[in-house]
Structure 1
């Protein structure tokens, strides 16, 4: 059984030969968009075969065998590209994870109490953020070792560091000095 994974979103056409800009949604665009690889249009049985992919002014430009001209390229604008992967597939380095592996994990505080579940991963220029549903709303936690020291995919959980206010923005310390 395989898992469908989003790898990119098609943007504007580039030139007249059918090249398109693709916004990668993968940490491995050089693998997912390598010449000869195929991607599928989400929600469709239609596959596109990569002829070439290159960086151009900070954008990924891709030419697909099935896209012969600018009109065909423009018709793809906004299309989400997916691949089917083996759910057991993991990144090469043990400290790296695919989004699909993190989403749904139970989130434990430093004491081992379940405090929520990972609902998404936001990829920002500075760092990745885990989106955690806490039951009281959503918290964003930087996905760095100092704040998320333990990820256990086999147990379906991750553990947060003991950092006050990590799951609630603006959490105030309370004290008895205010006369109560």
Structure 2
């Protein structure tokens, strides 16, 4: 690790939070916040504290039971590794143009985008609904298999006892009939369901299967 007297202004992205010490030789377990751990935790990779004032260079990395275990240069005993517990580390953001060419995105790029029905839906949605606004992306959630887009619906709906839906503002709703108001939905962030992302025009398109998004 090293101290930077005058850290450069850079865009940093959180990749891990250090947990407990592992063994006696300076290794630590980490909770990961990246979908590219093999790249981010490769030996020689440099991680930063949030303010960019300290750097930690990875000397070795390995996995054990789905956990990543890291050993940083200069952290060579248990006391030193225990002192890092709870520290969050970051990497420099990749070049946005290169990421766009590779169809790679950061969660912060997606939050706030308008979600629309894809132009040529192929997973069961009627083609006549192409271009309809579904809502807005309000969060990106890390799932065990893939990330999930949390979409706040433009028009919240009420699930009735018979399984049908009506707009939440409908006069047909009876507040005492145990109905359920649905304001958000989760959509797996995979190419098949999210075919197009347009950061310049601030929208993405969805091609969900029938039933994934209520009343669509």
TM-score for the superposition, normalised by structure 2: 0.66
| CA distance in 1 between partners of 2:17 and 2:47 (Å) | 11
Can you list the C-alpha shifts for 1:120-140, whole angstroms capped at 9, x where unaligned?
A: 222222332111233654321
Give the SS at the match of 2:19: strand
C-alpha displacement at 1:14, in angstroms? 0.5
Q: Residues of 1 paired with 2:77 and 2:57: CA distance?
A: 15
Q: Which structure would you say has the larger Rg?
A: 2
| Cα gap change, 1:113 to 1:44, in 2 (>3 Å) | same
Contact 1:2 1:87 in 2 (8 A): no
Q: Distance in 1 between matches of 2:26 and 2:208?
A: 52
Post-superposition shift, 1:99? Answer: 2.4
Cα deviation for residue 104 of structure 1 reads: 2.8
Q: What are the equivalent positions in structure 2 for 1:1-180 lying under 5 Å apart?
A: 2-43=10-51, 45-88=53-96, 90-91=98-99, 94-110=102-118, 111-134=130-153, 136=156, 137-161=183-207, 163=209, 166-168=212-214
Structure 2 portions without partners, runs of 5+: 1-8, 119-129, 157-182
Match of 1:177 in 2: none
Deviation sequence 1:85-117 (CA, Å, 0-9, x none): 245154597444332332332212343243332
Moved more, 65-74 or 17-26: 65-74
* 8 Å contact kept, 1:3–1:87: no
1:45-78 deviation per Cα after TM superposition (whole angstroms, max 9, x unaligned):
2211111111223221111113232122112222
- TM-score normalised over the length of structure 1: 0.77
Gaps of 5+ in 1: 174-180
Shift of 1:32: 1.4
In the aligned structure 2, how far is the partner of 1:159 from the partner of 1:83? 29
> Residues 87 and 116 from structure 1, CA distance in 2 versus in 1: closer, same or farther, beyond 3 angstroms?
farther
Q: Is the 8 A contact 1:104 1:119 kept in 2?
A: yes
| CA distance in 1: counterparts of 2:100 and 2:205, whole angstroms | 22
SS in 2 for 1:134: strand
Deviation at 1:162, TM superposition (A): 6.2
Task: Give aligned pairs, total.
Answer: 170
After alignment, is 21-30 or 97-106 more displaced?
97-106
